[in-house]
A and B are shown apart, each in its own frame.
Chain A
Amino acid sequence: MAAICFNNISKTFKTGFKRTSILSGLSFEIKQGEVFGFLGPNGAGKSTSIKLLLNFIRPDYGSIIISGFKVGTDKFRHLTGYLPETPCFYENLTGMEHLSFAGKSSGINKVLLNKKSLDILEKLNLEKAGNNLVRTYSKGMKQRLGLAMALIHDPEIYILDEPMSGLDPMGRRLITSIILNLREKGKTVFFSSHILNDIERTCDQIGILNKGKLLYCGPVENMPENNSGMEDAFVSLIEKDDMITNE
């Protein structure tokens, strides 16, 4: 059974009097235990796909299945951990209080939750800031706290929207090592990123999206025109698609 399955997803948004197509006929599968990198230029539809995956918005057409549960009708959120692109928190709560909310809402008991929270904060180098109000956190600290909230209930599937954005090289290395660690544990990770090096290092499979269409889905090494590196292959794929679309 696939961990995540997009079946012919289409989505349009209303802009004024006309509708703009964001995704058209998007279909792909992510197997259990796979790290899947979702790539694409700005406005390609990556964040929209993630919002659809989490049922924040509904598709015009098609369906999404997470471990056999249909998004929109079945309860699936106990299976997923989510990190938004720019996580926003309650500025007057502490990091520990956010983790407490995340853990309790996912059904973790109080005794276990405290221990888990401390472990995760330590793992993400936030142990000293755990009792500070979030408004005193830097952007990188907020990003790590967001990841801590995704990790706290040890879900099977992780959905990370630009997890490396706003992080310094140390922070990026830390997140990369956590993703690799999750892969070792057999967890499924679906993440979007602009940083091709990180994708190359961590992903089993990638999906390349441009203007709402999936241009490629498969292993990094099988990407077309991959002889001179992933970046060139990515740029060439997008440029070709843009040329075809403009014609």
Chain B
Amino acid sequence: MNKIGLVAWITFKDCIRNKALYGIILLGLVLFFFNIIITGMFSWEAGKVAVDMGLSIISFSGLILIFFFSINSISSDIYNRTIYLILSRPVSKAHYILGKYTGLSLIILLSSIILGLCAAVSVKLSFLSVDRQIPFNFSWSIFFLSILFLTISLLIMMALAVFWVSVTTHQFTALLLTLGSYFVGQSMENVKNIILSTKLFTNDSLPVKVISCVSWIMPNLAAFDLKTTAAYGLPVNASILLWVALYGISYIGVVLTLTIFIFQRRELA
């Protein structure tokens, strides 16, 4: 555990001093500013647009952090051979993977906290300017709950990014595979809904069952998307959310276990 903490600590410190991180967070802040301006241009459901955009900006910034920052952090360790300085100590490859994941996840958490607070401020300011258009049942607790679930989905993507970097031999391949996993994870639920809407298949039919099964393996990122719930002030089902959270945590555990298993067999020439 101590060794994981040590790797996490150097990863976090190295990232937190990286100017690229500030660039990404600054981009997020600029987008919040635009959120206030753009929301002001809407004459209908402006409050919903403000909430939806605020949450989307957190998600967008988090994904940029994963695609261009986290993937680069691990692959440069491998290809620049910085990893030798770690693995030549009494630190195993499992410690390395878990430490690296923890360090990078702390960056995602920090970014979600900073951008989440900025999103809340931008939504509040938008509400002030369009006070008659606040969603009917809007609740700040659901708004922050949706940020929490969005963060869990980013942590899942981070686990997948660590997995692809660890099993591929090129950073670009890892980036493409992580992007692919994201798009498939986002769209499988929609594919299922489109098939169901054609009325050609029922919920119990084999193709729908297969798609449903694949959507949870890919993973099902749509399940973590509470933007619509927060924007329209819809009621939430606590037990479903609990299951989704458990699914997310278990998914991360499985992906990291698989990553360690494969990475332990990988040669670092």
Contacts and interface: CB of A to CB of B under 8 A. Distances in A.
Interface in A109-147: 133, 146
Contacts of A84: 81, 84-85, 88
B90 interface: yes
Interface stretch (B13-21, B136-144, B154-162, B225-233): B13-21
B80 interface: yes
Contacts of A78: 90
Interface residues of B, number: 24
Contacts of B89: 77, 101-102, 105-106
Interface string B6-44: 100110011101100000000000000000000000000
B269 interface: yes
Contacts of A80: 88
Nearest to A159: B88
Interface in A73-113: 75, 77-78, 80, 82, 84, 86-93, 97-98, 101-102, 104-107
18 contacts: A13-B269, A51-B268, A57-B268, A75-B90, A77-B89, A77-B90, A80-B88, A84-B84, A84-B88, A88-B85, A89-B82, A91-B14, A92-B14, A92-B17, A101-B10, A102-B89, A105-B91, A106-B89
Given A101-B89, A105-B86, 19 more contacts: A48-B269, A57-B268, A77-B88, A77-B90, A77-B91, A78-B90, A80-B88, A82-B84, A84-B81, A84-B85, A89-B82, A89-B85, A90-B10, A90-B14, A92-B15, A92-B18, A93-B14, A97-B10, A105-B6
Interface of B: 2-3, 6, 9-10, 13-15, 17-18, 80-82, 84-91, 267-269
